[in-house]
Structure 1
Amino acid sequence: MEGKSGRSALLVTLVLFLAGLCSQPAAAFYLPGLAPVTFCEPEKTSENCKENIQLFVNRLDSVESVLPYEYDAFDFCKDKNEEWASENLGQVLFGERIKSSPYKFIFKTPVTCKSVCSKTYKQEDKESLNFLKKGIELYYQHHWILDNMPVTWCYDTDNGRKFCSPGFPIGCFVTSDFRKKELCAIFEDFKKANTYYLFNHVDITITYHSGLGENWEGARLVTAKLEPKSYRHTLNNINCEGPPMEIPDKFVGNLDVVYTYSVIFQENNTIKWASRWDYILESMPQTNIQWFSIMNSLVIVLFLSGMVAMIMLRTLHKDIARYNQLDSSEDAQEEFGWKLVHGDVFRSPKKGMLLAVFLGQGTQIFIMALITLFQACLGFLSPANRGALMTCAVVLWVLLGTPAGYVSARMYKAFGGDKWKSNVLLTAFLCPGIIFAHFFIMNIILWAKGSSAAIPFGTLVAILAMWFGISVPLTFLGAYFGFKQAPVEHPVRTNQIPRQIPRQSLFTQPIPGILMGGILPFGCIFIQLFFILNSIWSHQMYYMFGFLFLVFIILLITCSEATILLCYFHLCAEDYHWWWRSFLTSGFTAVYLFVYAVHYFFSKLQITGIASTILYFGYTMIMVLMFFLFTVHARILNFKTQKKNRKQQMRIFVSNTYLLTDLVTF
């Protein structure tokens, strides 16, 4: 399986790269695994039209636990000829485990209350039954797949809308004080205290497009919906009526569980095969909220743009005009504010090597995110192409070691550093090593808990091989070109003796400035962040990549403008230590992200257990670190001048200071 995962990852990446180069769409182009399949009645089957419909099962997950489990972990019915679906790298990293199930159908052949299998639990099987009851109590959900689309469970919400979920629960629980949890509240028969109710029956409705008016042979499936139910069958009497399937908290003797299903087929030629996911996505009321978020972010951008324009066009323009009119050396000495630090503004910062390393890693993550989001906007990384988003991101990160090494080496050389070996090694290993070590520790927890999210050892070796065999050499190659170039010539000469910085007010001190700098960028993304966290931890489907890309651009502009403003303010306060402060101004947005993640954990989630809590905050810290590098990426424009006259140097400094502090985020 791991070998197939690696080959699939390379195949998906190659297709994504070639598709990105193609500017004109092709009518007959389909991504791997997304080509349509046609079905026919048994007497009309052919090589291109089949009658058998195979249902696949995926991992089970819960909103109350971070630990997903494989389908077999809960002792459900297994396929006698079990087959594993080919999984790409992204699916393995997300813990998806797709395999065949015993639920097999024949096209347009309805079935009523058919037995799939039966399970008998004795006293010695108490551990397996307790695990099943624990899964019911934590509201674990099935995830079934039919013709590469989720089998959905649609129900009415409190506001009268219909919501279609790609998963359905394995059961529900009535507490000892007769409080019905989750679905038990809608069933009148589920009323016994301290009792678990198992959904051992499903009514499946498969809708198909007959091909009428189309140019294909046979029919194509467009929706697959189900309704979970509970019936207490006996081994000798399979009857989908009567009392529900109860699992008492304590049982004596044997307990028989029979799993059944019913399936019907419906024709609907109004639903096109290309838009068969729309009913799932349209049931999620996110669009209006997304537009509100965009408008809120645009207001912030316009506000910051106005302030930057006011400073650049009024203050700096007047200063330049006044310097052009100065003739006497006495007048030239009348300087104030940021003009007094022109001889120290390009002084190398403390811990310059670490700053250069962060800049290199930020460049790598920025380009990775930009290309990945662009591919997602084109539709190549849609939810139908499972795991493609993570696969694309990982492979792109591996292939982008060259720009990371180049930017890091170039900046470190601009700082006057000469320990090039340490710079290259830190660029290649520091941040990736922290993330991998963190990830490996959490993977040990997943292994100990038997979770399907545990990465197989072979996949970990493959990731290490990609890191050491591809990313590290490319980083060294980029660093070679970075150090090979001529040193950066700053437009203003740096004084030999550092200027003394005057006492700073509260608002121009480093910590208050950094705290204020991260608020506005976070205000642009926090609504979008809510939907992203929902898709990760509440297992909701995320598909609004167009909105996400727009927020990406808005965040880019907001962080840049906020950094320029604060950099201008503390330069006016005669504080020339702008390198790290400009770096951390937008980077502090990651701290607000962490605070919001903590708020989301306690207010929106119902996660229980020490292991799940550790995993949640562990994964959150990885996201925070990557977002920190994501937002502090800086692009420093280099300017060369042959002017040695002090007035000319000052003029260049005035006009280019904010280009040189072009701390564009990501």
Structure 2
Amino acid sequence: MCSSATLSVAVTTLLLFISSPAFASDYDHKYQADDVVDLWVNKVGPYNNPQETYNYYVLPFCRPPGHAGHKWGGLGEVLGGNELIDSQIDVKFQKNVEKDTICELVLDEPKVLQFKQAIENNYWFEFFMDDLPLWGFVGELNSDRNSDNKHMLFTHKNITIKYNKDKIIHVNLTQENPKPLEVGKKLDMTYSVKWSETNITFGRRFDVYLDYHFFEHQIHWFSIFNSFMMVIFLTGLVSMILMRTLRNDYAKYAREDDDLETLERDVSEESGWKLVHGDVFRPPRNMVLLSAVVGTGAQMAVLILLVILLAIVGMLYVGRGAIVTTFIVCYALTSFVSGYVSGGMYSRNGGKNWIKSMILTASLFPFLCFGIGFVLNTVAIFYGSLAAIPFGTMVVLFLIWGCISAPLSLFGTVVGRNWSGAPNNPCRVKTIPRPIPEKKWYLTPSVVSIMGGLLPFGSIFIEMYFVFTSFWNYKVYYVYGFMLLVFIILVIVTVCVTIVGTYFLLNAENYYWQWTSFFSAASTAIYVYLYSIYYYYVKTKMSGFFQTSFYFGYTAMFCLGLGILCGAVGHLGSNLFVRRIYRNIKCD
């Protein structure tokens, strides 16, 4: 934990380090005629395995003479596996190059073997120019089956650049002149540059990377409409069925002038949720853990809403790693929410072990992600991939947690305990717990928990396809307005479904609703993870231990956060519902 003397300095330094690349550029993107335009090489790897990336010069390409400059990005760029190195290819603003030599590549046996393996695995590479990406493949397989040399290496790079006045608007890379790979052969690696003027404005230069047809297809709009109709149905179900039943129950309790026969009949017919009023507010088991996950889930809900709004306003898809950087910064700054919700909940239920509660709330989700990340990082280091997180970046992440996130979480716990921690249960808890009668299998907590996630998953099913495709198949996700609508729909559906499940459980005279309401909503993540397995085998061509471990590891982190978020939303919604229905009955 950081001391108070260094906290302010650490916070300032960290915020400058991690946020500046996301919201600003090292350059003003303005050029004069004949100004040098840097072409940065970034990474190379199998096209079907997006996370299996390596340093560009892991393949025996032409290396620039002397010490090549590096362009260091922010935290999100490093976590995204980017390492920009100056190619030292001579590109000048508005100056065409017909054909120039990069270097002469002498092929020996190890180089030929490396290039052949890369071509067989469909290796692609990524360059950057003025923060705009360029992509290309290392080579291709000769379509002539009778040829002895089926591995062809592209030897010429044709760079086309469009500009508007003094700013670069678009860059494109095409490759030509494939040559067979033969030991002892010399290949001239060449390039050409062609400049042309355009009237596209600088603010719209990223539009070419956005797949409007894919993301704004009719099926996307239909999914939003379908989810919206589900919201109307569920809210109608809660208001028309449950509230009508509750209103009838309230009417029975409100009658004071009934005759003896009516009262006896009402008492004999009394059953369900009314009978457990003396146990329904009994503190749940593992109260420390439940308060920690509910507090963390409340923070995740605020965090996701904040990141989506920032993405809508700031077009975060433009910057390399901007989304990751924003997520980390916002997570640290919203840690107060987790502490406040957890502390208030723990105090209202009579918790005494405050140290354990504060530490668990501050460290639960980060350390779970750290455990998964540690395993993935070990795999990346073994493979020598750019996906491996450098030690310095780990130190920065730990400082963010230790100097910003953890103190805010602990402070929130203290505030929550003192401001919203007073017990206010509508009914007094009885000393002796009421026995829970056996009910039909579909009214057991386990079945209610498993079934509770189906409808929330159904409301986000289509959006999951677009999110997965964006992350795993090179699509730039930019429709954050859709994501905001889906997030709001998810919250509403989760609350409604959890309330219905809680009501059924209480009617079965089972008062262990706290954990059931959490798992009922959190089970949405189980269905998302099952969908990810389907997506992996049906929608992608990923292969190999590296990519498989990263796919399911990243998906596990995502589903972990989604499950905690949905569980917290469901529990908080059910808590309000339970307090509301027991507020107007006569408790003994």
Q: Secondary structure at the match of 2:583?
A: helix
Aligned positions of 1:126-137 closer than 5 A: 126=110, 128-137=111-120
**Aligned counterpart for 2:191 among listed residues 257, 261, 282:** 261
User: Residue type of the partner of 1:69?
Assistant: Y
Instruction: Give the corresponding residue for 1:559.
Output: 494
Task: Indicate whether 1:469 and 2:420 are aligned.
Answer: no
Aligned to 1:149: 132
Give the equivalent residue in structure 2 for 1:662. Answer: none
Between the aligned partners of 1:464 and 1:199, the Cα distance in structure 2 is: 44
By how many angstroms is 1:435 displaced?
1.4
**What are the equivalent positions in structure 2 for 1:184-263 lying under 5 Å apart?**
192=147, 195-210=150-165, 219-229=166-176, 231=177, 244-247=178-181, 253-263=183-193
Alignment CA distance shift 1:651-1:390 (3 Å):
closer
Distance verdict in 2 for CA 1:569–1:440, change over 3 Å: same
**Counterpart in 2 of 1:595?**
530
Q: Quick one: which of 241, 266, 278 aligns to 1:343? A: 278
Specify whether residues 63 and 492 from structure 1 end up closer, same or farther in structure 2 by C-alpha distance, changes over 3 A only. farther
* 1:337-376 correspondence to structure 2 within 5 Å: 337-376=272-311
2:101 aligns with 115
**Residue type matched to 1:58 in 2?**
N
Which residue does the alignment assign to 1:281? 210
Instruction: Note the C-alpha offset of 1:651.
Output: 6.2
CA deviation profile, 1:487-530 (whole Å, cap 9, x unmatched): 32201112222222222112212222222211111111122112
Establish whether residue 401 from structure 1 lines up as the match of residue 401 from structure 2: no
Aligned-residue sequence identity (percent) comes to 33
Would you say the 8 A contact 1:77–1:101 is kept in 2?
A: no
CA distance in 1 between counterparts of 2:310 and 2:474 reads 22
CA contact 2:149–2:180 (8 Å) conserved in 1: no
Say if 2:162 and 2:168, in contact at 8 Å, map to a contact too.
yes
Q: Tell me the residue number matched to 1:626.
A: 561
Q: Quickly say closer, same or farther: Cα 1:139–1:418, change in 2 above 3 A.
A: same
Q: Which runs of 4+ in 1 moved over 4 A?
A: 6-9, 635-640, 648-651, 653-656
Residue 33 of structure 2 corresponds to residue 33 of structure 1: no
Distance 1:617-1:282 versus aligned 2 partners, 3 A rule: closer
Do 2:162 and 2:169's aligned partners in 1 also have CA atoms closer than 8 Å? yes
Partner of 1:53: helix, strand, or coil?
Answer: coil
- Secondary structure of 2:423's counterpart equals coil
Maintained 8 Å contact 2:40/2:129: yes
Q: Distance in 2 between matches of 1:190 and 1:276?
A: 42
The one-letter code matched in structure 1 to 2:202 is W
The residue type paired with residue 206 of structure 2 is: W
Distance 1:629 1:191, change over 3 A: farther
Residue of structure 1 equivalent to 2:472: 537
Deviates more, 1:201-210 or 1:328-337: 328-337
Query: For the residues of structure 2 that align with 1:13 and 1:542, how far apart are their CA atoms?
Result: 21
Any idea what the Cα deviations from partners look like across 1:71-101, whole Å, max 9, x if unmatched? 1111223334522223101011111112221
Say which of 77, 80, 83 aligns to 2:69.
Answer: 83
> Who is 2:5 aligned against?
none
Any idea what the Cα deviations from partners look like across 1:543-587, whole Å, max 9, x if unmatched? 111111111111111111111111112212222111111101110
Matched to 2:152, the amino acid is: Y
Instruction: Tell me the distance in 2 between the aligned counterparts of 1:426 and 1:220.
Output: 51
2:157 partner SS: strand
Within 1, Cα distance between the matches of 2:447 and 2:147? 58
Structure-2 residue corresponding to 1:172:
140
**How much does 1:449 deviate?**
1.0
CA distance change for structure 1 residues 15 and 531 in 2, over 3 Å: closer, same or farther?
same
Q: 1:608 to 1:336 in 2, by over 3 A?
A: same
Structure-2 residue corresponding to 1:431: 365
Distance 1:589 1:498 in 2: 31
Residue-by-residue CA offset, 1:596-635 (whole Å, 9 max, x unaligned): 1111111122222223222222222222211111211147
Please give the alpha-carbon distance, in whole angstroms, between the structure 2 residues aligned to 1:172 and 1:437: 40
Q: Where do residues 446-461 of structure 1 align in structure 2 (5 Å cutoff)?
A: 446-461=380-395
What corresponds to 1:645 in structure 2?
none
Residue 406 of structure 1 aligns to a residue whose secondary structure is helix
- Contact 1:102–1:116 (CA<8 Å) still a contact in 2? no
Q: Distance in 2 between matches of 1:637 and 1:290?
A: 28
CA gap 1:445/1:637 in 2 versus in 1, 3 angstroms: closer
Q: Which amino acid aligns with 2:255?
A: Q
Distance in 1 between residues matched to 2:340 and 2:87, nearest whole Å: 50
- Secondary structure in structure 1 of the residue aligned to 2:71: coil
Q: Give the corresponding residue for 2:7.
A: none
Q: Which residue of 2 aligns with 1:389?
A: 323
1:99 is paired with a residue whose SS is strand
> Structure 1 residues 427 and 56, CA, compared in 2 at 3 Å: closer, same or farther?
same
Cα deviation for residue 15 of structure 1 reads 9.8
CA contact (8 A) 1:7 1:88 kept: no
Moved more, 198-207 or 583-592: 198-207
Amino acid across the alignment from 1:74: L
Q: For residue 239 of structure 2, what is the amino acid of its counterpart?
A: A
The equivalent residue for 1:20 is none
Q: Partners of 1:445 and 1:563 in 2: how far apart?
A: 39
Shift of 1:70: 1.4
Q: What is the Cα-based RMSD across aligned positions, in Å?
A: 2.8
State how far apart, in whole Å, the 2-side matches of 1:603 and 1:425 are.
42
Alignment TM-score, normalising by the size of structure 2: 0.89
1:19 is matched with none
Cα shift readout 1:281-335 (whole Å, capped 9, x = no counterpart): 1465220232122112112212211111212442222322333234358356342
Greater share of helix residues, 1 or 2?
A: 2
Shift of 1:456: 0.7
Alpha-carbon shift at residue 638 of structure 1 (Å): 12
Scaled by the length of structure 1, the TM-score of the pair is 0.79
Q: Which whole-Å CA distance do the structure 1 matches of 2:45 and 2:513 have between them?
A: 47
Indicate whether 1:494 and 2:424 are aligned. Answer: no
Q: Which residue of 1 aligns with 2:504?
A: 569
Contact 2:21 2:74 in 1 (8 A): no
2-side partners of 1:649 and 1:82: how far apart? 67
Task: Tell me the SS of whatever aligns to 2:501.
Answer: helix
1:49-76 per-position Cα deviation (integer Å, ceiling 9, x unaligned): xx32222222224343332111111122
Query: Structure 2 stretches of 5 or more lacking a match?
Result: 1-11
Choose the corresponding residue for 2:55, options 60, 70, 74: 70
* Residue pair 1:201, 1:261 contacting (<8 A) in 2 also: yes
**Residue 60 in 1 paired to residue 44 in 2?**
yes
| Residues 649, 105 of structure 1: alpha-carbon distance in 2 compared, 3 angstrom cutoff | closer
Question: Are 1:63 and 1:606, in contact at CA under 8 Å, matched by a contact in 2?
Answer: no
Separation (CA, whole Å) in 2 of partners of 1:639 and 1:595:
29
Q: Residue type matched to 2:383 in 1?
A: K
Aligned residue identity for 1:226: L
Alpha-carbon distance in 2 for matches of 1:220, 1:287: 29
Give the deviation of 1:136 after TM superposition: 2.0
Mapped contact 2:518–2:567 kept (Cα < 8 A): yes
Deviation for aligned residue 1:375: 0.3
Match of 1:652 among 578, 583, 587: 583
Between 54-63 and 419-428, the greater mean CA deviation after superposition: 54-63
